[in-house]
Amino acid sequence: MLSYRHAFHAGNFADVLKHSVLTLVLDYMTRKEKGFSYIDSHSGAGMYQLTDSYAQKTGEYKEGIARLLSAETQQATPQALQAYLELIREINQASSNDELSLYPGSPGIAKALLRRQDSAHLFELHPTDIDYLNDFCQRWRKAHVKQSDGYQGVLSLLPPPSRRGVVLIDPPYELKEDYPKAVKTIIRAYDKFATGTYILWYPVVKRELINEMEKTFTAGQVKNLLQVEFCQRPDTEEYGMTGTGLFIVNPPWQLKSQLEEILPYLQTQLKKGQDTASYKLAQLVAE
């Protein structure tokens, strides 16, 4: 089943959390001269047009990235968010006008930050998005795009030759199996490459599914696991995503304090109507 299209959701509050963390992690990796591998199991299209009918139909970006960009003048933006916001601004300035019309997916963030000595391995299954992704990567010599299963793809590439790597696992969760499968893939990947940084994205739709993910992680061998969650609304039994989170294995040492700066800001800027937004930041497994 491949009905999910990220174009409907690009730039929403979940992308804001995921991509601001990805920016901080990749920025940290580029502080050492030695190259690294970036592996993206579920890449999407690479870049999104916020003016197209998909983004306009849901308008989700208006409650995500658009709010943060327009809030910037009203309240001091946390230092830790600056690099991410600057990246979005630069991409839009480089296009035809200054308006917010483009939003980068995870490959777009990586393309902006990776250097000549770094390589990107991008997996995507959807027949339309793989074409967009191939177009997007056309002049990016160190990008390797594959239309194949990203879970297997991650495992096939570990450990990377440089022994330095960042893996993003960002499934659509159309199928419930994605929840346990994503965690098990990280546990298997960690077995092959324990010093890599792994970022696993999840939506908060049914709390029990997240509780199960936490249990599987804490029962396994993975060490140094940070969990961050931002919820626009309280949990509900009704359908729909109320929040979003990330499990991060081997995060850069300052990521936790950067998130301590970012989360209260998201809480005030990205709340939904009268609902109370909340967040969680926890070292789920010690180093």
C-beta closer to ligand SAM: residue 145 or 285: 145
Active-site residue, selected from the candidate residues 15, 40, 170, 178? 170
- Phi, psi torsion values for 145, nearest 5 degrees: -100, 135
C-beta closer to ligand SAM: residue 167 or 277: 167
| Least CB distance to ligand SAM at residue 9 (A) | 7
| Least CB distance to ligand SAM at residue 275 (A) | 24
Question: Which residues, at least 6 apart from 256, have a Cβ–Cβ distance to it below 8 Å?
Answer: 226, 281, 283
| Least CB distance to ligand SAM at residue 206 (A) | 17
Where does this chain bind ligand SAM (CB under 6 A)? 2, 4, 6, 18, 42-44, 105-106, 123-126, 129, 149-151, 170-172
List helix spans (H) across the chain: 13-29, 53-58, 65-71, 79-94, 106-113, 127-136, 150-156, 178-192, 207-219, 255-269
State which amino acid sits at residue 208: E
| Least CB distance to ligand SAM at residue 276 (A) | 26
Q: Is 150 annotated as belonging to a binding site?
A: yes
By beta carbon distance, the residue nearest ligand SAM is: 105
Q: Give the Cα-Cα-Cα angle 229, 258, 49 (nearest 5 degrees).
A: 65
Place of tokens 């849901």: 58
- Phi, psi torsion values for 279, nearest 5 degrees: -145, 165
Task: Give first-to-last CA distance, the chain, whole Å.
Answer: 38
Q: Give the Cα-Cα-Cα angle 81, 85, 88 (nearest 5 degrees).
A: 150
Q: Is 15 a catalytic residue?
A: no
C-beta closer to ligand SAM: residue 128 or 283: 128
Q: Is 170 annotated as belonging to a binding site?
A: yes
Q: Is 124 annotated as belonging to a binding site?
A: yes
Q: Is 149 annotated as belonging to a binding site?
A: yes
C-beta closer to ligand SAM: residue 170 or 229: 170
What is the set of active-site residues? 170
Which residues participate in the annotated binding site for S-adenosyl-L-methionine? Answer: 19, 42, 106, 124, 149-150, 170
